[in-house]
Amino acid sequence: MIATSSPDSRPALSIALLSFNRRAALQRTLTELAKLDPIRLGGALEIIVCDNASSDGSADHVATHWPHVHLLRLPNNIGVAGFNRAAQHATSDIILILDDDAWPDPESLYSALSHLRTTPPLGGIMLHRRHPATGNPEWPPDGLPLSGLQLDWPDFGCANLVRRECWQNVGGYEESFFLYRNDTDLALKLKAAGHDVAFNPAWLAWHDSIFASVKSIRWLHLSTRNWIWMSRRHARGLRGFIGCIMGIARALVLARFRPAGYLAVCRAMIEGITQPAPPLPARLSSDGTAFNRLIHLKRTLRTTRHTPPPQSLTLPGSVTTP
């Protein structure tokens, strides 16, 4: 059972979770979150599910089976703006921004949460996402020279710890992106606001998504367009052009010889270049340093190689949906 906060105390952690037509995945995520230990968390857990007008009964399922979850029902699908709506209802000092098909490894969460609490300059932490069935990582991959805490980390993914004050300071996710690249853009905005972001490959989140390896046509379109916009928002000088070219080239590779995929990338390239990029909030000023760091990491850590999960890595088991 999920622990809830009492009226006279704030929760130790708020979780902002966005749901859209993945009822079974959402059920599994909530089941995994219910296993978290309030004592190890340092207090009660607050979960806010924002449902993006799902048509598969996801919202009704939450209302019926998870009465302690704060449910927000949206009349329309507004994309990542739903995360912003959920975060507006968070009352803890720290928010875990979570996709509906992802959940944190408990021990990783306890450690990362403790570190964030005791390191005031830190604005957020990206958890290392892996597939729950195979243990394969998404990005960065295994077999690379990364160990221990990495500071000056310009990226986020499907499971991110963020200080609520910092989230509010930069305006949360860029809503005009609708989907994709909003997480990396958020990390770059935090850096532009003077908040550091960290990553430790040992702090894990499980992401049960087929799109980690096989990209949809919609992903190729929106992700590529948003990457170009992100480059224009945060890069300076030649690095912006290099960043755009890298994003387009990577998308063409991920199109995997599908004509519809190539058309989606071409459409995204035209939109990303000809349409105005969403402006950064006026209080933010990016000098391009964090974007340069992102490009360096993408160039040096990019690989399709996967290694078997370590012997000490315990993959989560199956969960039965009620």
pLDDT in tens, 94-140: 999 999 999 999 999 999 999 999 998 899 999 999 999 999 999 88
Tell whether domain 13-211 is in CATH 3.90.550.10: yes
Q: Which residue has the tokens 């079974």?
A: 24
What's the predicted TM-score (pTM) here? 0.91
Buried b (16+ CB within 10 A) or exposed e, 167-186: bebbbbbbbbbbebbbbbbb
Distance separating alpha carbons of residues 232 and 305, to the nearest angstrom: 30
Q: Considering only residues 178 and 321, tell me which one the structure prediction assigns the higher pLDDT.
A: 178
**pLDDT tens-digit profile of 187-245?**
999 999 999 999 999 999 999 987 666 799 999 999 999 999 999 999 999 999 999 99
Query: What average pLDDT score do residues 247-253 get?
Result: 95
Confidence check: pLDDT of 304 > 80: no
Structural tokens at position 25: 């995945």
Show the 3-state SS of 184-217: HHHHHHHHHCCCEEEEEEEEEEEECCHHHCCCCH
Q: Which of 36, 195, 42 minimizes the C-alpha distance to 125? A: 195
Distance separating alpha carbons of residues 132 and 61, to the nearest angstrom: 23
Quick check: 124 and 195 in contact, CB under 8 A? yes
Q: Which residue has the tokens 């230990």?
A: 37
Distances (CA, A) of 299 to 65, 89, 140, 189: 45, 38, 11, 21
Rg, C-alpha atoms of the chain: 19
Distance separating alpha carbons of residues 127 and 140, to the nearest angstrom: 11
Q: Report the 10 Å Cβ neighbour count for 73.
A: 16
Q: Which of 298, 319, 317 minimizes the C-alpha distance to 239? A: 298
**Three-class secondary structure of residue 137 per DSSP:** strand
Distances (CA, A) of 131 to 60, 69, 171, 210: 27, 25, 30, 9
Sign of the dihedral defined by the CA atoms of residues 79, 80, 83, 88, in that order: negative
Whether the ω angle into residue 75 lies within 30 degrees of 0, i.e. cis, is no
165 pLDDT band (50/70/90 cuts)?
Answer: very high
Residue 123: in which H helix or E strand, if any? strand 122-130
314 pLDDT band (50/70/90 cuts)?
Answer: low
Percent of the chain past pLDDT 70, that is, above it, reads: 89
Sign of the dihedral defined by the CA atoms of residues 302, 307, 313, 317, in that order: positive
Q: Which of 1, 160, 164, 142 minimizes the C-alpha distance to 69? A: 1
